[in-house]
Amino acid sequence: MTPAFTTSLLVLGGARSGKSRFAQAQAEMDSGNLVYIATAQAYDAEMADRITRHQGDRGPRWQTVEAPLDLPHAIATHAALGTVLLVDCLTLWASNILLAGHDQPAEIAALTAAIAAAPGKIILVSNEVGLGIVPDNALARQFRDLAGDINQAVARVAERAVFIVSGLPIPLK
């Protein structure tokens, strides 16, 4: 188990590493209000099923907020003392802002400012996508670079960071 955090925690890991489960367990250890900020969009039946499963994994303590694009605003709106925000996930948000043509540096700056200013606790989940081979197409390389930039920026402002491998947390910060 990773040491408790007091304000912000970045949870990184590969696909199916257990990062969302770990993040949810960390949030549920707190007795306060729980707010899940979802960045996923269901563009197909498989993703819709995945979203439904994740919703079912959370109990009645959770309030869900959909924020596929305006994540900084959702954080600023819902962060409060006595509340734990769980943002899942930054990687999907990266896809959303990339495909929407948003100003990526401005979005990252707004995100880190919202995290730094957030009262209460915040847990942010993200995929570490930079451990594999270099993608073979420009869009995939843009996505990988954007996800890496987001992860680095959030890691700088987060109080703690852990890397999840096979469900096991490795403290980074």
Q: Annotated catalytic sites, by residue?
A: 54
| HSE-up (13 A, CA, CB side) for residue 7 | 11
Give the orientation angle of helix 90-100 with respect to helix 138-157, to 10 degrees: 130
The sign of the CA dihedral 141, 145, 146, 148 is: positive
